[in-house]
Amino acid sequence: MDFIGLQMLVTVKDPPGVRVKGTVSEVTPGQSLVLSNVFHLGSSKWIPRLTLEPNNIVDLAEYKDEVTPETFTAPDAPLQAPKKRNRRARPNKALKNGTAEDASLEASLPQGGRGKGWRQTPMLQSTSSFQPFKALKRNGKAGNGVLDNGWASEDVTEEMGEFDFEGELAKFDKQTIFNQMQKDDLVEESDRLVSHNRKAKPGTAGGKNYHHTENVLDIPAATPKMANDFWDSETDDAALGPERLSGRDVRSSQSMRRTDSNRPNAGKRSQSRKASASGIPPTSRANLASQPGFYLVPSQRRAEPVSALQMLNLENIAANEIGLTEDMMTENAGRGIAAISHTSSIIVVLAGNNKSGIRAVAAARHLGNKGVSVLVCVVGIERERDLLEDMRQQVRIFKNLGGRIHNKIELFEQLRKTSHSSSATVTLIIDALLGLAISFEELRTGDQATVYELIEWANRNEAFTLAVDVPTGIDPSTGKVSIIDGGRLYVKPRYVVAMGAPKRGLLEAMAPPLRPSEEGNPKSLSAPAADNDDWKLFIIDIGLGAAVWKKAGTKLRRGIDFDDKWVLEMRYQGATGQGEEPDY
């Protein structure tokens, strides 16, 4: 007999006297009985599935529903004719509160047994908690209190005070926010939507011709661009933007520039980036001279700075899309640093657990291969497992070539032993303690103390210091100096070597911004972190070609042009308003 699907009543042995009811879903002879949708008859507990063994079954019987005896059902009452409703009669008060509807609803529900086969309850049921707007309005006119039904129908304006617009606006420093937005806005006027949608003046043939109020010889001078605009290039500085041609739309101005470049007298405007500064129009030359910036030596081409985030983006594109790995860029950077500092006899390398520190250790390896005595100190070398993978690789290669990595205590002990010998005097210190991605406050407490002591030692030492990218203690994006214990803490270098492109923080540190003075003067020059005559600047080619800059989507399509050299010297030129004359 097939028991699958039958409802069975089972009396189990353990626990004793327990009876369960369920549907047979699986039977394994001599092994198990599986019930589904199981009910415990004693406690009415429901179990979705229950497996019983044969030795645990006392009794097994098919469960059948008890058939209730048919009882006499009274015939339905005859339908009564509906009474005519008096429209003028006022409804009962109970109807307003919904009690009459509830009473009629309860009366219509069947008390027991089966129904007639159709729905016994209405589709829509009224609720007393719902108060229509007309009823609320009528109750309010009558002076009756509104029912406490959870709706916020009371007059909340009685508890609400007047809003203090003046006081709240005083808490918001709009000027600071607007200044920050203007500083961060690097979009040119010609690239804005308002320039593209500019309507041509009447009588200019859609912007192709000059208006009768315009003069061909009265082209307005180029407006100076922001000093921190990374997206500018030498070609952009030498060309007149489309926003300066009044009465023309952008597309017409661009087509005119392409047409003018083919004319014999348009040579200066169409010169390439490699053109000398003498080919720049006088208006653009004056604008460049009014902005502080870096210039390559001897080509005198302007080198636009980049932020730390933009440099990280360029290196990621080079590694992931071009195939220029981090090891390749590290080797290029290390050899460039070694080429600048190979003339020194004894060099101390202060490296942190960052990308700049990795490149500094690679430079120490190149210097050691050339016979230079190098002392390398890596912050956190005691916890070598916590170091970056690239740092561990450079440390391992340096040790395999016969080098030794010191911690702070070992470095100072080694310097103390050699301090009595004049031939063992340190002549150069390479600073790569923090790098571009980490600040002093983000270090561990122990590493902060180590970096603090190494910075103080480097500043007290008579040897020159070479900083990688940005001196330690100066923010690579803003140029702000770290304030520790109420004093300015940063390495004071003699040389600064930029990797691939100069960093914006270096420019900000060398170009003092105008800030409000506390003595009452409207504006005063704050003291810069660097003395412009003491810092000698270099830039190293780490392999970022024009393809990387183009993929990054910048206007500086070719990046820094190194010509036929791997290392170039840079010079800083301040704004002409600070007392410096442009040098071309």
Domain that holds residue 25: 7-62
pLDDT of residue 348: 94
CA distance 356 to 402: 22
- pLDDT (tens digit, 9 = 90+) per residue, 299-312? 888 888 888 888 99
Number of residues assigned to the chain: 584
- pLDDT (tens digit, 9 = 90+) per residue, 275-307? 333 444 444 444 555 578 888 988 888 888 888
Same structural domain for residues 506 and 360?
A: yes
Same structural domain for residues 363 and 237?
A: no
Q: SS3 for 376?
A: strand
Alpha helices of 430-551 — where are they, by DSSP H?
445-460, 504-510, 546-551
Cross-strand partners of 347: 374, 428
In a domain, 100, yes or no: no
Same structural domain for residues 329 and 272?
A: no
State the total domains in the chain.
3
Contact (Cβ atoms closer than 8 angstroms) between residue 348 and residue 429: yes
Question: Cis (ω within 30 of 0) for the bond into 292?
Answer: no
DSSP class of residue 447?
H
pLDDT band at 175 (very low <50, low <70, confident <90, very high): confident
- pLDDT (tens digit, 9 = 90+) per residue, 128-143? 555 555 555 555 555 5
Contact (Cβ atoms closer than 8 angstroms) between residue 356 and residue 391: no
Least confident of 82-86, 210-214, 517-521: 517-521
In a domain, 227, yes or no: yes
pLDDT of residue 202: 80
pLDDT of residue 66: 54
Q: What's the mean pLDDT in 94-111?
A: 49
Among residues 242, 244, 265, the alpha carbon closest in space to that of 252 is found at 242
- pLDDT (tens digit, 9 = 90+) per residue, 525-540? 445 666 545 789 999 9
Higher local confidence (pLDDT), 153 or 321? 321
Same structural domain for residues 395 and 461?
A: yes
Same structural domain for residues 329 and 438?
A: yes
Out of 124-128, 215-219, 498-502, the most confident range is 498-502
CA distance 67 to 61: 17
Q: Is the pLDDT of residue 420 over 80?
A: no
Q: Is the pLDDT of residue 350 over 60?
A: yes
Least confident of 166-175, 209-218, 220-229, 435-444: 220-229
Same structural domain for residues 544 and 433?
A: yes
The CATH number that applies at residue 563 is 3.40.50.10260
DSSP class of residue 481?
B
Same structural domain for residues 244 and 360?
A: no
The CATH number that applies at residue 43 is 2.30.30.100
Q: Is the pLDDT of residue 117 over 70?
A: no
Same structural domain for residues 228 and 326?
A: no
pLDDT of residue 111: 53
What percent of the chain has a predicted confidence (pLDDT) above 90? 24
In a domain, 54, yes or no: yes
In a domain, 372, yes or no: yes
Same structural domain for residues 202 and 319?
A: no
pLDDT of residue 494: 92
Write down which residue in 41, 62, 83 finishes a domain: 62
Query: Largest Cα–Cα distance of the chain, in whole Å?
Result: 128
The mean predicted confidence, pLDDT, of the chain is 73
In a domain, 229, yes or no: yes
pLDDT of residue 472: 93
Residue 7 makes CB contacts below 8 A (sequence gap 6+) with: 21, 22, 23, 24, 62, 63
In a domain, 1, yes or no: no
Same structural domain for residues 399 and 477?
A: yes
Q: Is the pLDDT of residue 385 over 70?
A: yes
In a domain, 537, yes or no: yes
422: left (phi over 0), alpha (psi -120 to 50) or beta: alpha
Q: Is the pLDDT of residue 363 over 70?
A: yes
pLDDT of residue 42: 75
Among residues 529, 391, 406, 409, the alpha carbon closest in space to that of 457 is found at 409
Same structural domain for residues 251 and 351?
A: no
In a domain, 112, yes or no: no
Least confident of 356-365, 387-396, 518-527: 518-527
CA distance 453 to 409: 11
Same structural domain for residues 274 and 336?
A: no
- pLDDT (tens digit, 9 = 90+) per residue, 17-69? 788 888 888 888 877 888 888 888 777 788 888 888 888 888 878 877 655 55
- How far is C-alpha 114 from the chain's CA centre? 67
Write down which residue in 288, 316, 341 finishes a domain: 288
Cross-strand partners of 62: 8
pLDDT band at 13 (very low <50, low <70, confident <90, very high): confident
Look up residue 305 and give its amino acid.
P
CA distance 41 to 251: 87
- How many alpha carbons lie under 13 Å from residue 160 in its C-beta half-sphere? 7
